[in-house]
Structure 1
Amino acid sequence: MSLLDRAAALDAADPLASYRDRFLPAPSVVSYLDGNSLGRPLAATADLMDDFVRDQWGGRLIQGWTDGWLEWPLTLGDRLGAIALGAAPGQTVVADSTTVLLYKLARAAVDARPGRRKVVLDTDNFPTDRYVLEGIAAERGLALHWIETDPVTGIEPAQVAEAVDADTALVLFSHVAYRSGWLADVPEINRIAHEAGALTLWDLCHSAGSVPIALDEWGVDLAVGCSYKYLNGGPGAPAFAYLRHSLQDSLRQPIQGWMGHRASFEMGPGYEAATGIRALLSGTPPILAMVPAHANLDMLAAAGIEAVRAKSLLLTGFVLELADEWLVPLGVEVVSPRSAERRGGHVTLRRPGFEQLLEPLWAAGVIPDYRRPDGLRIGPAPLSTSFTEVYQGLAVLRDLVEKHQ
């Protein structure tokens, strides 16, 4: 069987194939391989946005706040928690950006461990995570303990065990490493951190909507993530935060705004935090930007995260198969886990000079993701990507690499 025939056979056997029809077409795109950076829009999202602008916003105007808008951060958070995060109600909120929520949770966490001066993180985590913790360390007089991680893999439990001690307040890692796609062992790292008395904060940006997550079962303390990748929320879509029930009375986030007040519309003197997860809110919720979440969560609930994960592993496995057959002989290196147990939703390929191939790739309708200094991330979103699309995209990449040898 040729690789093209294999792609066709995988498409024919794909139980999620019909979901591709739910997305708006992009006529100039032959192969979209960047779902791990920005998901494609649903046709239902366009309909919902039009209805919201014309009927809800345009028709109800300010009365919409009493129609339920004010509760969206919590109701959508609960839906997201149930469908994608393994979180019981009352622990997830949709608000702000990933950066702002990271700051809120990390500041609250270190303040909840007074006397502990150490924060543990890794050198290859996403820049925002590192930058936010650098700022908090400067604000609070903390010391950052950097774990050197192999960019080809990611954080290992043994490394965490060597780093944490009785002085550690917080550890922060990504569930799926943004560069390599390494899938961290969250339960084991949590166990190690908790034995030392530290809190754990997980970045779920590259796993939410692609990889099954069980925050409650794994004993996660805090987590954040974005909704514009595998959750298809659109550019700049609001992020989400998770704070487990047992910590909600003791952690206080530092950005005190009116929406996190116990009685927002009393507008009285002095700040009194709301109870529960609502206390993570600060300003007015980004209601218009939340509209796509309704359609996206409906779709993910119908498909099921386990089925999404099964297809994701087949897609990335096919990427590895094509890379080994076509690209490795041309000097391209696979710098992502080959083990399905440790592989997230994308595969990174590395070769000097890849940046020069971006323009011709885009001109040919092939859109991967590039990460300096020389990595191409291939991120096929399971609900919007076919195996034939992966074949077509990597075939163009192969031809360009051959041409630029």
Structure 2
Amino acid sequence: MNLFNLPSSSALTTPITRAACLALDAQDPLARCRERFALPEGVIYLDGNSLGAMPRAVPARMQRAIEQEWAQGLIRSWNDADWYPAPQRVGGRIAALVGAEADEVIVADSISINLFKVLVAALRLRPGRRVILGENANFPTDAYVAGGVAELVGAEFRAVDSEDVLAALNEDVAVVTLTHVNYKSGKVYDMAAITKRAHEVGALVVWDLAHTAGAMPCALNACNADFALGCGYKYLNGGPGAPAFVFVAKRHQDGLRQPLTGWHGHARPFEFSQSYVPAPGIDRMLVGTAPQLGLIALEAALTAFDGVDMQALRRKSQSLTSLFIALVDQELAGHGFGLATPREPNARGSQVSLTHAEGYAIVQALIARGVIGDFRSPDILRFGFAALYLSHAEVWDAVATLQDVMASAAWSAPEFMARKAVT
């Protein structure tokens, strides 16, 4: 597949045409994957980094779970329908996408609860060290949770600018918590370099993979990562509020003491002992009963990755995002847009973020025309590129729509200026 790899508009000698985009799509080895998704007609969906599109495999699987396994099987389905081992089974599927072993990933709880669990566990593995290191531009929940953990256990949460993380790693730091792909800018951290430096000073690392898992390859074990977590509803397409996952490197599992000691994390939960004994391995990260319908939906959704080469997915993602940037350069000069995302393809995830003073209204005008992105305060227009179901021609059409919204000043209509609860 020939890729656009255009760091700037100066690399262009002739304008990019829609025919050229169609030619790229004709060579796309992942084009067949689009049929795995139920996408509405007339919509260009560039918000899979907030909520993934629904895979076609999900409705039938959910219908069976509701009408047969729940309605007819009742409580027997915990055994007869293999509900009980679903957290481990689905975790194994995700492990293959993030460079981990099947017994190092389990599906449980939400991303915030998993972050709480691993931060406390990491502090316990580093007695005498009291600093949790983060970065100022991280997703707010990660900062809130880290600050709450620090307050709870008498530690310090220390946030620095992203470019200062390596320099801030010293012998005071117990654990550093970072998001691999920044939710606003799309900038990618060097996981291997940061993990290596953290280990050199005796610290542990927690990686948030919310904008990584399912969007690009991840090599947790190759990078010697300690902990990671991520959600199931973005690029993994598990549905709104899908359960999250957590990774614990095998070398840490036996000595791990996580703080939410619920009965499903017990070594023998159905003995109903009053004394807690942690389960062996990754199972000790469980707390309570799994949200079974959410797990079933996520498991069915993950079949959309069957047979997909994650390196090929990454190449297409870089092609789509490079094309989008090049078309913005070509079509939108003079309309007041800035680029918040790195131009170097290897330095960004599977999203492109533009800046504009009227960003919110512009996004609403685009949505009204069937091009769905989202807005992040104060001025970020954010576009996610899920390579399993997006085409190059759709990227061309999206930028053409954006150009028309700007040229016609359609964004200035009062209905687009009024803020909604979810942006």
Which residue matches 1:103? 116
**Structure 2 SS opposite 1:216:** coil
Which residue matches 2:20? 6
The percentage of aligned residue pairs carrying the same residue is: 41
Q: Distance in 1 between matches of 2:100 and 2:211?
A: 18
Which residue matches 2:4? none
1:170 aligns with 2:175: yes
The answer to whether the 8 A contact 1:160-1:193 is kept is: no
1:24 aligns with 2:38: yes
1:351 aligns with 2:356: yes
Match of 2:65 among 52, 66, 70: 52
The answer to whether the 8 A contact 1:35-1:381 is kept is: yes
Deviation digits for residues 211-256 of structure 1 (CA, Å, limit 9, x no counterpart): 1011111000000001111110000000000001111122211111
Which residue matches 1:396? 401
Q: Distance in 1 between matches of 2:249 and 2:152?
A: 25
- Specify the code of the residue in structure 2 equivalent to 1:120: L
Alpha-carbon offset, residue 301 of structure 1: 2.8
Which residue matches 2:106? 93
1:294 aligns with 2:299: yes
Alpha-carbon offset, residue 169 of structure 1: 0.4
Q: Distance in 1 between matches of 2:39 and 2:206?
A: 37
- Specify the code of the residue in structure 2 equivalent to 1:48: R
- Specify the code of the residue in structure 1 equivalent to 2:244: A
Which residue matches 2:86? 72
The answer to whether the 8 A contact 1:118-1:143 is kept is: yes
Match of 1:271 among 253, 273, 276: 276
1:63 aligns with 2:68: no
Q: Distance in 2 between matches of 1:228 and 1:89?
A: 20
**Structure 2 SS opposite 1:218:** coil
Q: Distance in 2 between matches of 1:374 and 1:2?
A: 27
Where in structure 2 are there 5+ consecutive unaligned residues? 1-14, 413-423
Which residue matches 2:220? 215
Deviation digits for residues 152-172 of structure 1 (CA, Å, limit 9, x no counterpart): xxxx4xx33311111110001
The answer to whether the 8 A contact 2:363-2:381 is kept is: no
Match of 1:382 among 371, 387, 404: 387
Alpha-carbon offset, residue 2 of structure 1: 4.6
1:37 aligns with 2:45: no
1:339 aligns with 2:353: no
TM-score, L = length of structure 2: 0.91
Which residue matches 1:152? none
Q: Distance in 2 between matches of 1:296 and 1:236?
A: 14
Alpha-carbon offset, residue 329 of structure 1: 3.0
1:122 aligns with 2:100: no
Alpha-carbon offset, residue 9 of structure 1: 1.3
Alpha-carbon offset, residue 53 of structure 1: 1.2
Alpha-carbon offset, residue 296 of structure 1: 2.8
**Mapping for residues 279-290 of structure 1, pairs under 5 Å:** 279-290=284-295
The answer to whether the 8 A contact 2:16-2:327 is kept is: no
Alpha-carbon offset, residue 262 of structure 1: 0.9
**Mapping for residues 230-309 of structure 1, pairs under 5 Å:** 230-309=235-314
**Structure 2 SS opposite 1:201:** strand
- Specify the code of the residue in structure 1 equivalent to 2:39: P
Alpha-carbon offset, residue 16 of structure 1: 1.1
**Mapping for residues 182-221 of structure 1, pairs under 5 Å:** 182-221=187-226
Where in structure 1 are there 5+ consecutive unaligned residues? 150-155
Q: Distance in 2 between matches of 1:395 and 1:175?
A: 31
- Specify the code of the residue in structure 2 equivalent to 1:272: V
Which residue matches 2:10? none
Which residue matches 2:29? 15
Match of 1:311 among 304, 309, 316: 316
RMSD after superposition? 1.4
Deviation digits for residues 109-148 of structure 1 (CA, Å, limit 9, x no counterpart): 1122111011110000011110000101111111122111
1:141 aligns with 2:154: yes
Q: Distance in 2 between matches of 1:185 and 1:301?
A: 27
1:323 aligns with 2:340: no
**Structure 2 SS opposite 1:119:** strand
- Specify the code of the residue in structure 2 equivalent to 1:103: F
Alpha-carbon offset, residue 58 of structure 1: 2.1
**Structure 2 SS opposite 1:349:** strand
Runs of 4+ displaced beyond 6 Å: none
Are residues 17 and 249 of structure 1, via their aligned partners in 2, closer, same or farther at CA, if it must alter by over 3 Å?
A: same
The answer to whether the 8 A contact 1:380-1:390 is kept is: no
Q: Distance in 1 between matches of 2:347 and 2:183?
A: 13
- Specify the code of the residue in structure 1 equivalent to 2:197: I
Q: Distance in 1 between matches of 2:363 and 2:92?
A: 39
**Structure 1 SS opposite 2:288:** coil
Alpha-carbon offset, residue 391 of structure 1: 1.6
Alpha-carbon offset, residue 295 of structure 1: 2.8
**Structure 1 SS opposite 2:71:** helix
Q: Distance in 2 between matches of 1:92 and 1:328?
A: 45
Mean Cα deviation higher: 32-41 or 358-367: 358-367
The answer to whether the 8 A contact 2:52-2:236 is kept is: yes
- Specify the code of the residue in structure 2 equivalent to 1:123: N
Deviation digits for residues 323-342 of structure 1 (CA, Å, limit 9, x no counterpart): 11112432211110111111
Which residue matches 1:153? none
Mean Cα deviation higher: 288-297 or 306-315: 288-297
Alpha-carbon offset, residue 30 of structure 1: 2.5
Alpha-carbon offset, residue 310 of structure 1: 1.2
- Specify the code of the residue in structure 2 equivalent to 1:130: A
TM-score, L = length of structure 1: 0.95
Q: Distance in 2 between matches of 1:139 and 1:336?
A: 36
